Amino acid sequence: MADLNKAYKIMDSEGSATQQAHSWTQKCAIALIKFLGWKINNTTPPIIWKKAVLVLAPHTSNWDFFYGMLFKLGHPDVPIRFAIKKEVMFFPLSCFMQMLGAIPIDRNKTAKRTNIVAVMAEMLHQADRLLLAIAPEGTRSYVKRWKTGFYRLAETANVPIILGYINYAKKEMGLGPTFHLTSDMEKDITNIQDFYRKIPGKYPEQGVV
């Protein structure tokens, strides 16, 4: 419960001062995206942005975080948040991470995966607007099988999955199609991976093959 209370305080702290800060950070982020030669292509309807699990793949480099944060800062109207270890949230880094959308999770209190899924699902239930971002690979290296936490989270919270991507070949990133779960997890994950097979990461050989 402590994790939830802290998360809600962070999500509710965006007042007028934060909105003013968003104005200049948004302009700077969009300007930097254009300067670097990148473009944004959001195909998911804004109505879906209200509440969902946001899958980010392929995750092959630390540069993914850089471009992901540029997208986040350039789109303050998209309620993207991501879970992070509580230990990382120390001052002054915590102020910056909160601005980027970090939600601290005490893994000592939520040691089991099922507990982490339950905590994050409750966040989705209680929030009015929230996209929880997850990298299903769980590592920058190639993995044969994805972790299933993102799927179980969407299933538990009864929300769709938005397929976010960073295409290094085209220098394009955005919120791709929306995926609604069926009762077949293996088939669903395979279908989601099919979308990402066409998306080259920073290091394509480490992506979805």
The count of structural domains within the chain is 1
Global model pTM greater than 0.85: no
Task: Give 153-177 pLDDT, tens digit per residue.
Answer: 999 999 999 999 999 999 999 999 9
pLDDT at site 88? 65
Poorest-pLDDT segment among 15-19, 44-48, 141-145, 146-150: 15-19
Confidence of residue 1 (pLDDT cuts 50, 70, 90): very low
In terms of residue numbers, what domain contains 43? Answer: 2-206
Cα separation, 160 vs 180, whole angstroms: 5
Among 206, 205, 101, 105, residue whose Cα is nearest residue 149:
105
Q: What residues have CB less than 8 Å from 45, skipping those under 6 apart?
A: 178
DSSP tally for the chain: helices H, then strands E: 7, 7
Q: Which alpha helices (H) appear in 37-148, and where do they start and end?
A: 63-74, 93-100, 113-126
